[in-house]
Structure 1
C-alpha cells in the first residue's frame, strides 16, 4: 500500500526527519528550519493542509510538520547552500488531478474577490467584518451578486465549458446555480462546525433557529407577518440540513471533495434544452471528475472507509441536493402565488431546475 505524507496526505517518499512525508514537505521543512524562517497565519491558525492547497498558509503547514513529529535537529545546517538534490517523483503520473486542481486554485481566487464584492462600503477595508443575520431580501441580493462571479469562476476553470455555445452554458448554469448555493452552504457548515445557521458567501448568515429574522421585510411591504411566513416556509431549512448539510458534516467532506461535487452538479445530463453534443461532453467530464476524486480518496484521505465507499457516500448527496433545491424553488413559487413574501424575479428565474 502507498504510504501517505502525514502533513499534506500526498504520496510519501519515505521517512524524513522522523516522519513519513512527501518530498515537497521534506524540502519545505528543511528550508524553513535551515533559514530560520518565520511565518504568520492570516486566518485563525487552523488552516487545512492538503497537497492541493499546502502552499496557501506556510505558518499552519510548518506547525503541522512539528505536530506530526518532524524533528528540527535532523536538519543539517547549511545543506541547502551546496545545492538541491533531485527528489524522486512518486506516483506523479498516477496521482494527477488536473481538472479539480484548476477548480481549487480558481476557487481560492473567487474567495479573495468575494471579500471586495461583498464588503460594507460604509466601513473601512481595514476593519474585520462582523457577520450578521440577513433577511430574505438581503440574502437574495447576495446571491444575485454571486451569480456573475460563479459563472466567471466556472468559465476560467473548465475550458470545455468555456467552449459551449451561450445557450448551452445557460442550460447548465441555471440547473447548477441554486444547487451550488446549497452545496456551498454545506461546505461552510463543515468548515465552521455549525448547522444552526447557514453561512453565505458574503460572510453573513441565515439564522435557521430563528427563521422569522429571515422572513422579515424591512420595507414593511410584506402582506403577512414574518412569524406567519416562517410557519409556512421555514421547514425547508430542516429539509436542506437533513439532505445536504448533515451528510457533508457526517463524512467530513473537505474543500477538494466539495468542489468535486460542485463540478459533477455542473456537468449534469438530461436537462431540458441540452444538446446531444453537450450531453456527451458532460458525460466525459463526469467520468474524468469521478476518477480524480476517487484517486484523491485513495491517496489523500485517510479514513476507515474504502475509497470507493467514500465516493459512493458523497455521490449519494447529489440526488438529495436536487431534492432540497427543488423544495427551495417550490417555496418561492408558492410565496408568489400566495403573495406571502416577494422574491426577486431574476433570482426566481435562476433557481428553476
Structure 2
C-alpha cells in the first residue's frame, strides 16, 4: 500500500525529519526552519491541511508538521549546506505534474468504464456491441438521473477537499454544477466525435438535434401538445447550446484534459446562493490552482502567447455555459407551468442555477 504524507495525505516521498512526508511538505518544513519564517493564521488555528489546500494557511501547516513529529534539529544539522542542496535540484522538469487534473482525469476514465455497465441494455447480450440510437426526452432524463450519483462519486473520489464540505454546501455546489456539466460533456463528446448535429449522452446514445421532434416525442402519448408543437416552442434552446458551448469547444478542439479543467472550474464556482464564506474561500483557492495547472498544460503544448490566448478562449466558454444551462432550465420551468411536457421533478431540481 502507498504510504501517505502525515501532514497533507499526498503520497509519501519517504521519511524526512523523522516522519513519512511528501516532497512538498519536506521542502516547506526545511525552508520554514532554516529561514526562521514566522506565520500567522487568519482563522482560529484550525485550518484543514490537505494536499489540495495545503498552501492556504502556512501557520496551520507548520503547526501540523510539528504535531506529527517532524524534528527541527534535523534541519539545523544541515543548515550550512541548505543552499547547496537547493542549487543541485534546479534542473528543468521534463514532465510537469498536474496533480489536481491528473487525478480528475484518472477517475474520469474509470467513470467511463462504470458507465458501460450502468447503461447497458440488459435485454441484450454483453457480447453484442451497443448500437447508438436517438432518445426522446423521457429516456434522456432517465440517463441523466442515473448519471447524477455516478458524477457525485466521481467528484468525491477526485477532490478530497470536497468531502470536507458540510452536506448543505455540497448540495449548493452540485446543484449549480450538474446541468452545466451535462452540457459541457456534450460539447466534449462533440469534439471527440467531430459532430454537432447530434448531442451524445454518457450512455452512448444521442439526441438528434437536426430532428428535435424525435426528442419531444412521448411514447406513452400522455402529453397535451404534439411533438411538433413542443419542438417549435422549445427546440431553439439546442441552437443556443450549440452556439455557446459546442461550437466554441469544437473550434479550438478542446481535448479531454482541458474539458475536465473547465468542469472543475464549474464545480468550484463562487458567489452562489446559500454558499458559506468558508466554502467560497476554498473554492477560490481551488480555482486558482486549477487555472494554474491548465495554463501550465497549455504552455507545455504551445508558446507563451498562444497558451495565454487559448486559456482566455477556454475561460470565455464558462459564462456562455451558464447562459445555455439557464435557458434549458427556463424551458423546463415554462413546460411545467404550461403542462406542455412533463419533466421529472428530481431532474428539474438538479438543473437549478
State whether TM-score is above 0.5: yes
Structure 1 position 302, deviation (Å): 3.8
> CA shift at 1:308, angstroms?
1.0
Determine the structure 1 residue equivalent to 2:271: 270
Identify the residue that residue 332 of structure 1 maps to in structure 2: 332
Looking at structure 2, the residues matched to 313 and 160 of structure 1 have their Cα atoms a distance apart, in angstroms, of: 28
Indicate the SS of the match to 1:214.
Answer: helix
Distance across 2 between alignment mates of 1:90 and 1:214:
57
Alpha-carbon offset, residue 294 of structure 1: 0.1
Shift of 1:92: 3.8
RMSD: 1.6
* Structure 2 CA distance for aligned equivalents of residues 303 and 317 of structure 1: 21
Q: How does 1:204-283 map to 2 (within 5 A)?
A: 204-283=205-284
- Name the structure 1 match of 2:174: 173
Task: List runs of 5+ in structure 1 lacking aligned partners.
Answer: 1-87
State the 1:305 CA deviation.
5.9
* Counterpart residue number, 1:317: 317
**What do the CA deviations read for 1:191-231 (whole angstroms, capped 9, x no partner)?**
00000000000000000000000000000001000000000
**1:158 is the counterpart of 2:155:** no
Structure 1 distance, partners of 2:142, 2:242, is 22
Residue 96 of structure 1 deviates from its aligned partner by 1.8
Aligned counterparts of 2:178 and 2:199: Cα–Cα separation in 1: 17
Please give the alpha-carbon distance, in whole angstroms, between the structure 2 residues aligned to 1:333 and 1:245.
24
| Structure 2 spans left out of the alignment, 5+ residues | 1-88
Please give the alpha-carbon distance, in whole angstroms, between the structure 2 residues aligned to 1:305 and 1:250.
18
In terms of fraction of residues, the more helix-rich structure is 2
Alignment of 1:1-353 (within 5 A): 91-92=92-93, 95-299=96-300, 301-302=301-302, 306-353=306-353
Summarize deviations over 1:237-278 as a string: whole Å, max 9, x none.
000000000000000100000000000000000001100000
How far, CA to CA, are the matches of 1:121 and 1:293 in structure 2? Answer: 40
Return the offset for 1:90.
6.5
Distance 1:312 1:238 in 2: 23
Residues 93, 291 of structure 1: alpha-carbon distance in 2 compared, 3 angstrom cutoff: farther
Q: Distance in 2 between matches of 1:255 and 1:319?
A: 20
| SS of alignment partner, residue 320 of structure 1 | helix
Paired with 1:89 and 1:256, the residues of 2 have a C-alpha distance of: 28
- Cα offset for 1:137? 0.2
- Greater Cα radius of gyration, structure 1 or 2: 2
What is the CA deviation profile of residues 277-306 of structure 1, one whole-angstrom value per residue up to 9, with x for unaligned ones? 00000000000000000000000x347961
Q: Which runs of 4+ in 1 moved over 6 A?
A: none
1:121 partner SS: coil
- 1:162 CA drift (Å): 1.2
Structure 1 SS opposite 2:199: strand
